[in-house]
Amino acid sequence: MTAGQVVLVVIAVSTVGVAVATRSPLEQTMQRHMLMQLPMLFGAGMLIGSAVAPRGAVRAMWRRWNVHGVAGLLFACGVLATWMVPRALDAAVEHLAIDALKLLSLVAAGAIARHSWHVASAIVRTFVLGNMAWMTATVGMLLLDAPARLCTSYGASDQRETGIAMIALTMAGVAGAAVYAWWAPRWLPA
Amino acid sequence: MAARGAIGLTISAALVVVMMGTATRGFSALTTDTARALDVAATPVSVPRIVLLDMHRAAHTLRDEQRSTIVDFIYTRCVTVCSALGGVYQTLQSEVRARGLQSQVRLLSVSFDPVWDTPARLGPYADMMRADPAIWRIATVADSRALPAVLQAFGVRVIEDGVNGYVHNAALHVVDPDGRLVAILPFDAIGEALDVAERHSRAYRTRR
């Protein structure tokens, strides 16, 4: 392992550690739960994916089973979508075992997404980003507009604010992707 | 290569279906409340046998052996969802009278804040609500240690709102004369709650 890889793993492991240690304050509001804790865990997974890459036979197998990274990216999007379901959020707050499952699935999804993104074509990348943007914006609008509370763990104003923040983050993400595409022309098909 | 790629994609898709299916109770519920209502409708649950005290310190239980009970959970300092529930219960009370259901259906409001809502404080609240004790009792738990089990059985989650009050889910819970929670309905489903309650008390009498 190079020094760079060690640093990435240390950052990732400490991020997960911080997320575990601050579980109750982070899960006390919907905003911190959805917009801080979930991205922290997924991001830690991506860092681990950057540091640790499969080699040799494993790498060849990964490429054959995960053609264009589609299978891996589908799984990662599925994990993110699952933890946006209000019932799943409630269950994670109430049951430690489900919260542990959330942690493991998000870290795994982050690592898998990192390695799938690497082999994905521009078309697949654009599709995945577009789909995620659509999904988070829709969830945001649902949270903003819902006439009743959707989570038994969180209040109505928290829910509305989370909705607004999700829409804002989606817009920022789309703008960021557009800037990235502008600066890295090979990223999009000619 | 193409075959293994397809298998990989199929495995991934299957995992996503399993995860989403589990999270949504087999694609039937997005929220904890909906899932709980569907669970209870499919399999009624016995409610805990605990002692409740009304404004006169008279003991009651969650179960009435003659009538179905429509239960809601409140705290009297509440100015948001409980005021709405108070209005709903006033309507329920007049509907019980209008339909002549006094011997079939009773109403019970349970405070989950026994520290503030002592029997002495429940009196003025009951007066303000014009609760008719023959139909509608307002009570709280005699022993606050029994409260978590009750809230758990009914699927009610109470969280502190940070300004000395609570946030809680509001619903109409129908308990049949056997002491089983048979339905959880939206708090504005007044007609449906009465229908369900009446049906279960009739069925109970037919069985006896």
Residue range(s) defining the domain that contains residue A89: 3-187
A176-184 contacts: CB < 8 A, separation 24 or more? Answer: A177/A129, A177/A133
pLDDT number for residue A190: 43
- B16 with A75: Cβ contact below 8 A: yes
Q: Any idea which of B78-82, B90-94, B149-153, B195-199 has the lowest mean pLDDT?
A: B78-82
Burial-class residue A156 by CB neighbours within 10 Å (0-12, 13-18, 19+): middle
Closest residue, chain B, to A112 (C-alpha): B12
C-alpha distance from A2 to closest chain B C-alpha (Å): 31
Interface check for B18 against chain A (CB to CB < 8 A): the answer is no
Contacts of A75 in chain B (CB under 8 A): 12, 15-16
Interface check for B208 against chain A (CB to CB < 8 A): the answer is no
- B24 with A151: Cβ contact below 8 A: no
pTM of structure:
0.91
Considering only CB atoms, B20 lies closest to which of A66, A71, A78, namely: A78
SS3 labels along chain A: CCHHHHHHHHHHHHHHHHHHHCHHHHCCCHHHHHHHHHHHHHHHHHHHHHHCCCCHHHHHHHHHHCHHHHHHHHHHHHHHHHCCCHHHHHHHHHCHHHHHHHHHHHHHHHHHHHHHHHHCCHHHHHHHHHHHHHHHHHHHHHHHHCCCCCCCCCCHHHHHHHHHHHHHHHHHHHHHHHHHHHHCHHHCCC
B41-207: CATH architecture: 3-Layer(aba) Sandwich (3.40)
Confidence of residue A118 (pLDDT cuts 50, 70, 90): confident
Closest residue, chain A, to B25 (C-alpha): A87
Closest residue, chain A, to B152 (C-alpha): A94
pLDDT tens, position by position, B118-136 = 999 999 999 999 999 999 9
Q: Mapping DSSP to helix (H, G, I), strand (E, B) and coil, where does residue A109 land?
A: helix
- A152 with B8: Cβ contact below 8 A: no
Q: Which of residues 63-122 of B touch A (CB under 8 A)?
A: none
Q: How many domains does chain A have?
A: 1
Structure tokens at A64: 């054959």
Cα separation of A139 and A44, whole Å? 23
The answer on pLDDT for A27 being more than 90 is: yes
The answer on pLDDT for B12 being more than 90 is: yes
The answer on pLDDT for A187 being more than 90 is: no
Confidence of residue A186 (pLDDT cuts 50, 70, 90): low
